[in-house]
Structure formats: C-alpha cells, structure tokens
Structure 1
Amino acid sequence: MKRAIFVVLVVATLPSGLAVAREVDPPQVEATTTISGRGFGHGRGMSQYGAQGAAIAGKSAKQILDFYYPGTAVGKATGNVRIRLTADTTDGVRVVAINNLKVRDLKANKLYMLPKASTRNQWSIDPYGDHGTKVSSFDAKKRTWTLWRTLKGMAQFEGPGVTALILPSGSQVGYRGTLRATDVAGTHLDTVNVLSLETYLKGVVPREALFTWRPAALQAQAVAARTYAAYHRKRSTNRAYDLCDTILCQVYGGYGSEQYSTNSAIAATAGQIRLYKNSPIIAEFSSSNGGATTPGDLAYQVQKVDGWDAYPGNRNPNASWTVTRPTSRIQAAFGVGVLRSLKVTARTGVGPGGGRVLRVEAVGTNGQKKAMTGDQLRSKLSLRSAWFSFVPPSPTILDIPTDQETR
C-alpha cells in the first residue's frame, strides 16, 4: 500500500563514516486569501467601459450621458484652465529654447521676446528675492547658465506653438499654451500649464479612454472631462491652479498624448458640459462599475444596474477579477490578531452577489471584533473596487509516494 509522507530526509555523514537520516521541518508557505470582485474604481457617474458598451449597442453620446448623469441638462463652458504639472519637482520652470519664445512678467503684465543665440538651448525661470523671479539661459557650448533678467513677480513662458518642458530626469514633455512659474512657498515654484479648455481636453481624453473606442463613447468622455474641469475651475478661485494632471484629478499628458479620434470627439462636442441647477456637475467617472453604479450624495449620483459595463464586445478586463492577498496583510488591516472569521455583513443590494460591500467584520482568536467599510478595506488591500467577496479556502494535500512504496 502506498503511504504519503510529509518529511524531508537529509543524509548526513558522521565522523565514524556512518550515514544517518534526520528529519527537518519543511519550508513554510505563507497563507493567502483569495478575493473575487467586480469593477475598477469608485463606480460613481459614468463607467468608461460602460460608455463603450453603450456605443457598441448604438447609443449616442447624449443617451450615454443621460443614463450616467440622470436629471442633468446640457450647458456650455469656455475659457482657460490652469493645470499643475506634478512631474516637475524642480524649484523653477525649465524649457527648451526655440525661436519666438517669449517670457511675460505677470506682475507688470509685460511681454519680452527672448533673444536668439545659436548656443542657447535652454531657458529657465527660477525664484529670486522676495517673491520675484529670474530668467536665465543655458549655453550649451560653455555649459554655463547666464542671468538674462530679474522680475519683481511671477513669470511665464509663451511659445509660438508647443513648448517642451524639461523634467528633473532630463526628459521633455511638450505642452500647448503657456508654462507658468507659480510662487507657492517663496523658495519653490510650481509649474502650471495655462491653456484653453478645449486644448486641455486634447491631452486628457486619450489618457482617460482608449482612442480606438467608438465615437459616441469618446464624445461622452469629452463632455464628462470638460464638465469635471469646469466644476473644479469654479471652486479654485483662491488657488494658483484648477486641477492637477494625475488620477487625483484627471490624467493629462500634454501635446504628446493627442490622437485624431479623440480630437474629433472633442470638436464634435465643443463647449458642451452637463449642468444641475445651472451649475457644472461633478461629472465623476471610473473605468468600470462592475454592473451597477454607486450612489452618492447628489441627486444625479444614483444607484442602478448597468447592463453596458460588460456589454458583449467592449472587452472590459475589469468586469470581474480575482486576486490573492497574504492573510497576514488582512490580519494587519483589522488588527485583531489571528483571524478566526472574516465576513461581509452588509452590501448595497444592487447587482450580482448583492452588490458592493458596505461593511466587513473580522473576529480574532482572542474574541476581539473589528469592522470597517468596503472602501476602507479596498484601500488597505489595494483592491480594484469595493465590490468583492472572500473565496472560501480549499487546501490541496499532495500525496507523494516514496520510491520504496512504488516498487
């Protein structure tokens, strides 16, 4: 009869020359917990993959926006936006020298044409004195910086088209509009890109949606992104910028991100935004809502089933997912010692499996209990959304017969 063994035999040679077998502990494998879920993001407002699904189903951009932002009206927004470029962590603003590059003294509102020189290849605006700035050029041949002019206030570069910003790594990113040095703390200047709302969207829509998507989906994304920018612009009057360029606001990649398809979608919806009570709405969107929208505090943030999020053909990779996390990480998140039980105690009640998690409760071996919201646990475990379930463990025992037992 075959028997399973669970020890490792190590042969050791004693001084007498005799070989003996000794038992050693097998390597320990860290316990993991499997978690399955749906969607990616907060789920409020528009599902981006849902918009693509609706477009495949033949819906127009207006129908898509009406579904995801119910009760809102069509409005219009124009003007400029100010975008903080977070990748530029230097103390100033450094750009590639080009012909017809100008610098504006923002305090005096005076514009200067920067001089041409065959050896100048960079210009820089840096802090100077008490909330002032200095403009310098870099001589590529001599490898030195030369002061050109000092200004009593902040300044900005104004190029004839696209201006290349030089990042700390030495890489360059092109931006339309102006590149402004903004005084934040006296010794550091933030870089802010000031440009028209429509031009800004050219660097946003292809970063927030796939440029290969259907026109109606891209048009819906353009309106949502334009509305989101208009909403935050209205609330940033006391700041030096309106939005950042990361997922904390809207992802903005500048000139290099532009695509023909997304530029066309922006042009087709020029100026269009969504309003509620005559004000721009906070037009939130996320990659995938998993099949149901998430409710919010506002009238147009409703909870309902979304049949477009996983519509055939939209190739939504986030419609459903499965991940594993070390059980020790879950234990650390709750802080109740070794887990005795872990269960979801409340859900939204809308969508497959009962919908998003509202409350999770953990009990430790010492009897201590702790609960947290689905969003809190999502953050601690780096999950794609708060719509998840814990998959019951099913350990497998490997029965490996010895040589003697197989003879």
Structure 2
Amino acid sequence: MRTWVRTSAVAVAVALAGVVGPVAVTPAVAADPGTVTFTGRGFGHGRGMGQYGALGYAVDLGWDHERILRHYYGGATLARDAGNPALSVELTRNTGRSVVVEGPGIAVGGVVTGGRAVLVERTGGGRFDVRTGPSCGGPWTLWKSGVESGAVIATANGAPTVCEADRWTMYRGSLRVVERSGTSYLLNDVSVDDYLRGVLPREVPASWAGLGGGRGAEGLRAQAVAARSYALASSRPTSGATTCDTTACQVYGGHAEQFYGKAVKVLEDARTDTAVADTSGKVMRTAAGAVARAEYSSSTGGWTAGGVFPAVEDLGDATSSNPNRSWTVSVAASRVASALGTGQIRSIAVNARSGLGADGGRVQQVVVVDTAGRTSTFSGDTVRSRLGLKSDWFTVTGQGARNEAEAVVRALYNDVLGREPEPAGLANWTNVVATTNNPRLVADGIVNSKERLQALVTTEYVRALRRGPEPEGLANWVGYMERGATVSDLQIGIFASQESLNVLGGGDTRAWVAGMYAALLGRPASAAETAEWAAVAQRQGRGAAVAGIARSPEAGTQRLLAYYQRFLGRGLDPSGIASWLPAMSGRGDFTIPGMIGGSQEYWNRAQARFP
C-alpha cells in the first residue's frame, strides 16, 4: 500500500494542531473544473538584487545606492576601480546572416571603402566578401573578397547603423564580424559605460529618477552598478563576445532605432545616462577580488532566492509602484498537463518550499497526480519556466480535486470520529487536501484531535467499567494522552483499577482476567491463560497483568485489523503486519491511522463511498 507524498513542515504543523473544526489555513481560491490557479509573488528568478526592491529602498526608506547594493550582494564589496573598459556585445538578431552597415566614412579593417554602406557576407573558412553601396538598399559592388574574420567596421561618426529587414539600429563604438564554428556573428565593440547607456532604459524605467522627490535616482544608480558588474563578470557566449543583447545576458538596444515607416526612437535616456556617469568605475567584487556576477530580477516578492549571494528579506519590494508584488493566473489543466508532460491531472500541489517568506517561500517541489494515479514531481523553477509563470513563488489551487478532496475528508470524519463533518470543518480540511495534495494531514489532524482522544477514553471506560467517563476522569485521561501516553497506557490505567476488578470480575481476579481477554482480544481466555495472568496480578499487581495483555502482539494485531477494516474495508496483508505491528505497542494508534488515511488506496475507496 503506497502512502501519500509528504508535504512541507509548515503544513504538517497546521494539521497536527489537533483541531477538527475550522483550521487556520489560507482559503483556497475556487477554480472552475479543468483549471489550475497559481497565485504568486514576484517576477523573475529572485537572485541578487530586486529592481523594485531597490526602488523601494531608495524612495520609501531613503537608502543610497551603495547601501542598497550591500544589502542584496552580501559577501561582495563595492569597488571603484573598474574604469571604463571596452567590451563586445553579440547582436543576436544578426547571427548567421549577411550584415548591412551604413554610416559616413565607413571603413572595414581600417580601410575606407568609399561607399556609405557595406554588405558583408560569409564565404566560409573564416572569410567574408564585402560589397559597397550608396545606402542600405544597395545596389552593391564587390569591394573586397577574403576579408578575415574579426574585421572591424567603423564609421567616421563613431555610430555605425545596422540595417535589417524591418528596421535600422544605431550603435556607439564599432562593429566586428566574426566566424565561430561555421556561423557568422556581428559584435558591437563599445565602452562599458556606453554599453550601459543602451542597457539601463531596457531594464528599468528611466522615470524612476523622479520618484520620491528624486530619491528614485539611487535605484537607477544601484541598477547601473549591478549591470556593469554583471556584464564584466558574465560567461562569454559562443560568439566569443563579452556578452549578448537579450535577456539571456542583459537587454541592450544600442543608441537609437527606426522601424521603417515609423519615427526615429532614441533608446538612451538622459536620466539613466546620469546614473551610469555617476557610478562610472563602480562594480561589486567578490572576496577574491573578481568582479561579482551581480544578478538581479524585477521583483523578489519579499525575499531574495539566495544562491551566490545570501538570501535576504526584501522590504523594499513592497513599494506601491511594484506591479509584480503579487499576481494570479488561471491555466487550463490540459495545458498544465501538456507543459509538464503528465497524464490528465487529478491533483497538483506544492510539496516543499524554501521556508523564507509568505506561504512558506519559494516552491522547491510540485507533485502532480494524474487520473491513473501516477505521481510526478517537478521543481518550482521547472513549473515556472514551462508554464511561463512570473516566478517560482506561488500557491496552487483548483483542478477538480476539490470534489475528491471533500470525499476524503468526509470519509476520514466517518472512519475516525464516526460522524459527518460540520460545514466549517469540511470546508477548511478540504482546502488543506486540495492545496497540499496530502490527505494524511487531515488524517493526522483528526486522529490526534481532542475529540478523538475523548472517544478513545470513552471506549475504554465502557469496556473496562461498563459506563462512560465522568468529566474529571475524561479530562484527566485526555491530558494523559496529550502528554504522550499510548492507548495501551490508557488501558493499563483504567483496566487495572479496583472499579474494573469489581465490574468485570465481581472482585475475583480470574474472572477479571477473563473479562479483559474478551474486551482487549475479542476472545475467551483459556484456563491456563486465566491462571497465568491471575498469578501475575497477584505477584506484580494488576497493572502488570493488563500491560502484558494490552501490549501483546495479539492485542496490537486486533487493533491494527480494526483500522484496516474501518478504513480500507479489508483484512490485514502480510506487508502491513510486518511494517506496522511493532508500532502498535507504542504510538501506532496515532501514527498508523494517519498513514492508512493518507494512502492512495484510501483515496480511491473514499471516492467510491462519497462520489
């Protein structure tokens, strides 16, 4: 019998509070059948600096950019010694294509071509043909064949323009065509500060500079230092460039662009230019002195994810202008199944979290159970990337398992407490199962509840004393078990009493032993058994006799069989006896019902009982 997947420590703590009625859990958001609803926090991977957090610290808390950087990049030091070195940027839209470049006085390999535009085509073997023309549209005349890989394309104004099918883009510095492994690449060689002028407006709004009476400019300065550090520390792409121009590196637009038929758009901004100039030469360095790869993302959701830099609480993320602090999206269950590669989804739930922040923090593991009962596990980041979610910090609700979860809750109430659940208890425990995918939480919660302990005490009173417990006795024995006593400890205390001797045996020890056999083992005692345990009672006390019977494998088997019959409607199997019988002499009456109630077999039976 396969037990259900385990869930987070936070959820276990909630369930084991022993409350059968309303539980302090976040209510699940009702979802239409066939949908899965993700409610999340933050946008991006969450490692390093949160961009909205930096803004919040600047605008709301008055931090300067150096303090912001120290907060997010723990273990790294702010240095002012990087200067303004040159770097190269792979212009990815031009990879594997012929390149057209325009500008005054255009030169290739240091030689002026005499035209205003050039067409550069790879011919193989690390060589290129260069043609000249009066403009981006040609016509073209062969200028030189066999130009070597790495040839620099420069213009007199230091701003070459790349002509593409739908637009032109102007870059600062110069360009270079290279061949690597049979593929041509176009690189932009530019100083790091000029590069950052084309990065910052793509990564954060330049308008931040005016927020908070100008305090938002510190957020832009923090971004400038982080982006400079990230660029200088990045791993080189296949082209051999220092970095690239997409989200795989940092988004870089160059100086200006024009889509044909549209107005010219300057891609730099004076406000972000100022942030770059104000922080020129500043980088974050590791303890070893290397430039730190200062990762950042839009919004951390309230805690950074950790990794290279320690995870820290991000109070700045709560700034009012942050649109990504929280989000909700509903996805068709069929799309979730397709994206994750599972069968039709019966239930999906978070199974482990980082422990940092609301809801237990970022998702570490998600468990999907399909309608065939197959279980698949995924990392939170895998779910994020395959479904296009904003981050890996989310909760999951929905996908019809609410009806199935309700069936399990109703079955557990009936099997453990012998009654239907009250509406509040049904709603809250259904939420627990639907959001955690783990009915064992409900089983453990009900099995360890005060109501169940009261029922256990009442049962033993009736069997040993033929009456129900008085209020004082009920409270005493319930407290005894709450402090860790077992069912057999309870039986010893009640059956060994003088009242039990009088009620079951009329004051006769042998008759009392016979009554215990009937009550605890469900069968008559033989003459030899009666004599043996009567002698133990007379020599060592009635408690020793009760302990010998109540803690025997036969008594444990009887109680274990009762759980199997009540929960699963069948007898014991060999594996169940081998695995669980030893626990019945200890806390098995509190752990085993939860394990059975959390099993796949129990889930399936509950659906048939409460369709």
Q: Same fold (TM over 0.5)?
A: yes
Q: Give the structure 1 partner of residue 281 of structure 2.
A: 271
Work out whether 1:374 is the aligned partner of 2:380: yes
Q: 1:37 aligns with which of 37, 40, 64?
A: 40
Q: Where has structure 1 moved over 6 Å in runs of 4 or more? A: none
* Amino acid in the other structure paired with 1:174: M
- Residue 342 (str. 1) matches residue 344 (str. 2): no
Query: Are 1:384 and 2:383 counterparts?
Result: no
* Residue of structure 2 in register with 1:208 after alignment: 203
Name the counterpart of 2:132. Answer: 137
- Per-residue CA distance 1:193-231 (angstroms, 9 max, x = gap): 011111111101111111011210110000000000110
- 1:158 maps to 154
Distance in 2 separating the partners of 1:341 and 1:260: 52
Q: Superposition pairs for residues 36-75 of structure 1, below 5 Å?
A: 36-56=39-59, 57-75=61-79
Deviation at 1:153, TM superposition (A): 1.1
Q: Aligned with 1:144: secondary structure?
A: coil
Residue in 2 that maps onto 1:114: 113
Q: CA deviation at 1:131?
A: 2.0
Measure how far apart 1:142 and its partner are: 10
TM-score (norm 1): 0.80
Equivalent residue number for residue 108 of structure 2: 103
- In 2, Cα distance between equivalents of 1:58 and 1:371: 43
Could you tell me how far 1:125 is from its partner in structure 2? 2.0
Greater share of helix: 2
Question: Which SS does the other structure have where 2:175 is aligned?
Answer: strand
Amino acid paired to 1:356: R
CA contact (8 A) 2:117 2:136 kept: no
2:296 corresponds to 1:285: yes
SS in 2 for 1:366: coil
Distance in 1 (CA, whole Å) between partners of 2:342 and 2:230 is 41
The equivalent residue for 1:179 is 175
Provide structure 2 residue ranges, at least 5 long, that are not aligned to the other structure: 1-31, 209-215, 257-266, 403-611
Contact 2:131–2:140 (8 Å) recurs in 1: yes
| Separation (CA, whole Å) in 2 of partners of 1:342 and 1:246 | 33
1-structure distance, mates of 2:344, 2:136: 65
Residue 330 of structure 2 corresponds to residue 324 of structure 1: yes
Deviation at 1:90, TM superposition (A): 5.3
Aligned counterparts of 1:332 and 1:281: Cα–Cα separation in 2: 39
Give the distance between the partners of 1:367 and 1:142, measured in 2 at CA.
62
User: Closer, same or farther in 2 for the Cα pair 1:334/1:137, shift >3 Å?
Assistant: closer
Rounded Cα–Cα distance in structure 1 between residues aligned with 2:160 and 2:65: 33
Is contact 1:334–1:362 with CA below 8 Å preserved after alignment? no
Backbone CA RMSD of aligned residues: 2.3
The within-5 A match list for 1:203-282 is: 203-213=198-208, 214-232=216-234, 235-236=235-236, 240-256=240-256, 257-276=267-286, 277-282=288-293
Q: Quick one: which amino acid aligns to residue 310 of structure 1?
A: A
Q: Which residue of 2 aligns with 1:310?
A: 318
The aligned residue for residue 7 of structure 1 is: none
CA contact (8 A) 1:93 1:180 kept: no
Q: Match for 1:226: what amino acid?
A: R
Question: Compared with structure 1, are the counterparts of its residues 338 and 202 closer, same or farther at alpha carbon in structure 2 (3 Å cutoff)?
Answer: same
Cα distance change on mapping 1:49 and 1:302 into 2, 3 Å: same
Which entry has the higher C-alpha Rg, 1 or 2?
Answer: 2
CA separation of 1:335 and 1:180: change in aligned 2, threshold 3 A: closer
Q: 1:80 to 1:139 in 2, by over 3 A?
A: closer
Q: Displacement of 1:236 after TM fit?
A: 3.5
Cα separation, partners in 2 of 1:253 and 1:152, compared to 1, 3 Å: closer
Q: Which amino acid aligns with 2:354?
A: T
Paired residues, what number? 347
Q: What amino acid is aligned across from residue 176 of structure 1 in structure 2?
A: R
Describe the shift of the 1:365–1:278 C-alpha distance in structure 2 as closer, same or farther (beyond 3 A). same
Unaligned runs of 5+ in 1: 1-28, 105-110, 396-407
| Shift in alpha-carbon separation, 1:130–1:295, aligned structure 2, 3 A | closer
Distance 1:141 1:372 in 2: 50
State whether structure 2 residue 93 is matched by structure 1 residue 80.
no
2:585 is aligned to: none
Q: Which residue of 1 aligns with 2:482?
A: none
Task: Give the 3-state SS of the residue equivalent to 1:248 in structure 2.
Answer: coil
Aligned residue type for 2:270: Y
Residue 238 of structure 1: CA displacement?
Answer: 8.5
Q: Which deviates the most, 138-147 or 45-54? A: 138-147
Separation (CA, whole Å) in 2 of partners of 1:248 and 1:287: 15
1:65, 1:141 → 2: CA distance?
A: 44
Letter in 2 for 1:125: V
Match of 2:573 in 1: none
**CA–CA separation in structure 1 for the residues paired with 2:375 and 2:350:** 13
Measure how far apart 1:74 and its partner are: 2.0
Which whole-Å CA distance do the structure 1 matches of 2:269 and 2:281 have between them? 19
> Against the structure 1 CA distance between its residues 130 and 366, is the aligned structure 2 distance closer, same or farther, given a 3 Å change threshold?
closer
In structure 2, relative to structure 1, the CA distance for the partners of 1:368 and 1:137 (3 Å cut) is: same
Identify the structure with bigger relative contact order (alpha carbons < 8 Å, sequence gap 6+): 1
Q: Is the 8 A contact 1:84 1:243 kept in 2?
A: yes
